[in-house]
Amino acid sequence: MKNGIKIQDFDGVVSEIPLNSKEMQLALDKDNIDASWSLMCDSVRHRLGIDIIGHCNLISIFINGEERPLH
């Protein structure tokens, strides 16, 4: 995957979620981290029906194909 996040739900299922350019911008924002992350998660929920906050553990983020740890 070029840009996106890898998550694991509480049942242990690992998923890779591709992010569009705006979602990536929000995910990487360092100025208002919590608000930007919440907006990114809202966008993913609206676009894909996947609820991240409170339902998944964050594993990694893909930036231009390079996987990096999250948290």
16-49 residue pLDDT tens = 999 999 999 999 999 999 999 999 999 999 999 9
- pLDDT bin (cut points 50, 70, 90) of residue 63 is very high
Q: DSSP 3-state assignment of 56?
A: strand
pTM here? 0.90
| Structural domain boundaries, residue 42 | 4-69
What pLDDT is attached to residue 34? Answer: 94
Percent of the chain with pLDDT over 90: 97
User: Phi and psi (nearest 5°) for 57?
Assistant: -100, 140
If one counts the domains in the chain, the total is: 1
Max distance between CA atoms of the chain, in angstroms, equals: 33
- Percent of the residues in the chain that have a pLDDT greater than 70, as a whole number: 99
